[in-house]
Amino acid sequence: MSCRIDICVCTFRRPMLSETLATLQAVEPPPGCSLHLLVVDNDDTPSARAIAEQAALPFPVTYIHAPARNISVARNAGLEAACGRFLAFLDDDEMATPGWLRHLYAKAEDSSADAVFGPAVSIYPEGTEDWMISGDYHSTKPPPQPGPVQTGCTANVLIRRRAPSVAGLRFDPGLGRSGGEDTVFFRQVYARGGVLRFAPLALVYEKVAPQRLSLGWLLQRRLRAGQSHAHARILTSSAPLRTRAGLLLAALAKGGFCAAMSGLQAASKPRRNFWLIRGALHLGTASKCFGMREQVLYGGT
């Protein structure tokens, strides 16, 4: 019996969508699997319809208009439209490699994982500052070892749709304009007993947009990542007050250390920025423990 894999690309006014879809022409289906593409357009008007309908792919393409300017609404529309045994998410500014899906699927089958993540490798434009390239802060990398994978993101992931840990679960619309909805979603999968794994060979590439090539952008994103981390941990904890207190104390201590190190290394731009970016993550964790709301980062004009 053939195994169907749905590939979901959620999009919002992204000119590079046509490039992303073009890379899917060369994607190799895993043995015995058929592919189906779902393009979920989150714009107020169906601005991506023509790109989706003109995609020359060797498998079916379904266009879905889910207007909301809320990425959780778009991701949930993909979950609800999918019919396959597996569902893969790929961002609308990424480029898949031919073996991308095959490596995700092999890891899922070998490990019986409920979700398998892969790396998203950043491609920096000419003129990018050296400290940013050497730090490679934009790429999605393997989780720190040792220990189990406890969460992940939708930039590059394959989900076993009917797994008990996944069935019925949805992305939180309350996080759909701040981001971090995927961090919370996969932390919930893990808390429900799901097995999460990482496939280092399941490569996709992402061209870094010029507006993301600043220290301010990186600090903002790391702050939000810290908020998402705290939100996910508290939400899935059996003792949320104790978890909140523990996270807050650790974040304050680590944030203070990062602030001190950034001051001590102020003469070195790469080292100073490394500690500032790391400190922003802990500041975000602390801010969420204090009850601060996440910033709106998605769906603007």
Render pLDDT for 40-69 as a digit per residue (tens, 0 to 9).
999 999 999 999 999 999 999 999 999 999
- Same domain (yes/no): 78, 140: yes
Q: Of the candidates 212, 241, 271, which is a domain's last residue?
A: 212
Look at residue 65 and tell me if it is in a domain. yes
Average pLDDT of every residue of the chain: 94
Q: Of the candidates 146, 177, 212, which is a domain's last residue?
A: 212
Q: How many helices (H) and strands (E) does the chain have?
A: 9, 10
Give me the CATH number covering residue 122: 3.90.550.10
Reading across the β-sheet that carries 204-207, which strands appear in turn? 94-96, 204-207, 120-123
**Quick check: 190 pLDDT over 60?**
yes
Tell me the residue length of the chain.
Answer: 301
- Same domain (yes/no): 138, 99: yes
Look at residue 137 and tell me if it is in a domain. yes
- Same domain (yes/no): 27, 43: yes
Residue 160's pLDDT band (boundaries 50, 70, 90)? very high
- Same domain (yes/no): 199, 228: no
pTM for the model stands at 0.93
- Same domain (yes/no): 243, 191: no
Render pLDDT for 101-117 as a digit per residue (tens, 0 to 9).
999 999 999 999 999 99
Structure tokens at 267: 């003469």
- Same domain (yes/no): 39, 153: yes
Distance, CA of 257 to CA of 180 (rounded, Å): 25
Look at residue 148 and tell me if it is in a domain. yes
- Same domain (yes/no): 63, 108: yes
Distance, CA of 41 to CA of 172 (rounded, Å): 18
Residue 295's pLDDT band (boundaries 50, 70, 90)? low
Domain count for the chain, please give it: 2
Look at residue 121 and tell me if it is in a domain. yes
pLDDT of residue 1: 47
**Enclosing domain of residue 191:** 3-212
Q: If you ran DSSP here, which 8-state letter would residue 273 be given?
A: H
Render pLDDT for 74-87 as a digit per residue (tens, 0 to 9).
999 999 999 999 99
**Quick check: 300 pLDDT over 70?**
no
User: How many Cβ atoms are within 10 Å of 130's Cβ, its own excluded?
Assistant: 9
- Same domain (yes/no): 152, 271: no
- Same domain (yes/no): 206, 62: yes
